[in-house]
Amino acid sequence: MTANHHPANRRGRFLLALGLAFALAANGPLTPADLYGELFVRVQEAHVFDDGKAFADAVPHRAPDAIMADYRRSPPGDTEALRRFVLANFTVPGVNDTRQLPLRAHIRALWPQLVRQPEPQVAGGSKIPLPEPYIVPGGRFREIYYWDSYFTMLGLKVDGEQKLVESMLDDFVSLIDRFGHIPNGTRTYYISRSQPPFFALMLDLSDSDDSAVKAKRLAALRTEYRYWMAGAACATRAKPCANVVVMPDGSRLNRYWDERDTPRDESFAEDRATAAKVTDRPAAQTYRDLRAGAESGWDFSSRWLRDGKALTTIRTTDIVPVDLNALLYAMEERIARGCRDSGDNACFRDFTQAAAKRHKAVDKYLWQAGERRYADWDRVAAAPTPTLSAATLYPLFVGMASPAQAGKVAALTQAKLVAQGGLRTTLNRTGQQWDSPNGWAPLQWIAIDGLARYGHRALAHDIAARWIDTVARTYSGTGKMLEKYDVEERLPGGGGEYPLQDGFGWTNGVTSALLARYPDLDPDGAEK
């Protein structure tokens, strides 16, 4: 080894260079390398940008020490995450420096891009045609999705797109008329399951005064209810049937389920790989539970995992979920109301009683007073699951909590679920997309609306402010509206079976609805 390459000499040269840098810094402004240290080195050595001058010329969105504090607290794990971090915190010439529309105007400009028109059935294709125009989420989601659409419609309504709200309602009626329920999405491979039943709440967004239209939609809602309750005829305490579970006292609640027990068409290889690792039960049961997890919309989450960690322990069909039962309570209430308004007293009585029975069963089995939360129920263990999730706020959202229950949930939410960038989905880091650190637009709305409904307006506003800040930061850095976000670090989200999607229907809808409700949170100033 030559003297010139001896480690001690290399260290000496490094210290000399470092001392020179400090000396130069003392006599002039700090350079990006001085300011951003290890972040600068990592970006340049990883060639995050084709031209090394790009990051050297980048303009920070906030104080360098704040950026570096966030970087050191949670360094991005790979080059793509590093790029996302940089673009969320800097304007990089030639990358994200084009002039952007204000956030609200950007969303309004996106609606026409996400509209799809009716088209004919293609023989051999999987897409299910619809009779009226509709909105798709965006990215890989090229068809209408059931529960996504409610949150999209919230934004359409406040953005002056009521005609689209009505046409999407007509599309959902068409699906119920054809299939007896609203499928997960408009593909043939989605027909065997539904999604969280928001159709009843979608009807609240209608402006139609046409009595014939109202009657047709009420009939469709009752048909959808029969789909969810079809298993009542065969379910027993020992064995659920379809979507119905008989609880220990004989009351009936619901679960997520799927008619098929094969790998999902859209995730075929992934499902087979998961099932191949399971040794304690038939592959068909694993497939059924994966499919039921997809029906929940939370695909996937520690809520459905027996050990709270590994997808191979998925047991969705063993869980009685709080969100589904809250939504079915809302459906029963709205059917009762519609029947009352149409003069059908027998129907009004039956559905009023059904809602009351469900409310009583939810309070008995899902409300955990000592833990200040609504919990999912594990029917095999005959006990609440340990997973705290944002689903605990659904009973507030639909109005089935008492003021005392709402107060306890609000306190727990503030203590455990609120992160710097919005509402956490769960507290568990599993790598699944419906777990920490991700936050999702629909869960923000459900929490904010539910808390405000019970008078917890300051907390609702705080969650909205944190979420809008996350969305606005990411939009500023990337020019995109995303499917999910990391609410711990206020960055684009990650995890799950597929890459992060942009577009994005429900994020657009919830953002518009929140900015209409809280104009003081508009990052571009309240619109005139």
Angle made by CA atoms 42, 43, 48, in degrees to the nearest 5: 135
In Å, what is the CA distance from 288 to each residue of 100, 313, 315, 318? 45, 13, 9, 11
Nearest-angstrom CA–CA distance, 33 and 23: 14
Nearest-angstrom CA–CA distance, 40 and 32: 7
Nearest-angstrom CA–CA distance, 306 and 288: 15
Read off the pTM. 0.85
pLDDT of residue 483: 97
Fill in the amino acid letter for 483: E
Tokens of 281: 């039960």
Question: Cis (ω within 30 of 0) for the bond into 403?
Answer: no
Q: What is the SS3 assignment for 210?
A: coil
Beta bridge partners of 502: 482
| CA 192 remoteness from chain centre | 22
In 319-419, DSSP assigns E strands to: 319-320, 367-368, 373-374, 377-378, 383-384, 418-419
pLDDT of residue 28: 82
Nearest-angstrom CA–CA distance, 29 and 25: 6
Ranges of each domain in the chain: 25-98, 105-521
pLDDT of residue 152: 98
pLDDT tens-digit profile, the chain (528 residues): 444 444 444 444 444 444 444 444 456 899 999 999 999 999 999 999 989 999 999 999 999 999 999 999 999 999 988 998 999 999 999 888 877 899 999 999 999 999 999 999 899 999 999 999 999 999 999 999 999 999 999 999 999 999 999 999 999 999 999 999 999 999 999 999 999 999 999 999 999 999 999 999 999 999 999 999 999 999 999 999 999 999 999 999 999 999 999 999 999 999 999 999 999 999 999 999 999 999 999 999 999 999 999 999 999 999 999 999 999 999 999 999 999 999 999 999 999 999 999 999 999 999 999 999 999 999 999 999 999 999 999 999 999 999 999 999 999 999 999 999 999 999 999 999 999 999 999 999 999 999 999 999 999 999 999 999 999 999 988 889 999 999 999 999 999 988 889 999 999 999 999 999 999 999 998 543
Alpha-helix runs per DSSP H in 184-314: 199-203, 211-229, 268-276, 283-296
pLDDT of residue 150: 98
Nearest-angstrom CA–CA distance, 32 and 367: 54
SS (H, E, C) 103-119: HHHHHHHHHHHHEECCC
Fill in the amino acid letter for 279: T
Tokens of 93: 């010439």
Tokens of 314: 């998925």
Q: Is 206 exposed, middle or buried (0-12, 13-18, 19+ CB in 10 A)?
A: middle
pLDDT of residue 3: 42
Domain 105-521, CATH: 1.50.10.10
pLDDT of residue 26: 54
Tokens of 177: 């008329």
Q: By C-alpha distance, which of 470, 479, 447 is closest to 521? A: 470
pLDDT of residue 20: 46
Instruction: List the catalytic residue out of 435, 483, 489, 502.
Output: 483
Nearest-angstrom CA–CA distance, 504 and 477: 16
pLDDT of residue 526: 59
Q: What is the SS3 assignment for 135?
A: strand
Tell me, yes or no, if 80 is annotated catalytic.
Answer: no
pLDDT of residue 23: 45
Is-contact 204 159, C-beta < 8 A?
Answer: no
CB neighbours (10 Å) of residue 91?
A: 16
Instruction: List the catalytic residue out of 143, 171, 299, 318.
Output: 299
Tell me, yes or no, if 483 is annotated catalytic.
Answer: yes
Interacting residues of 379 by C-beta distance below 8 A, sequence separation 6+: 240, 245, 247, 255, 318, 319, 320
Is-contact 349 371, C-beta < 8 A?
Answer: no
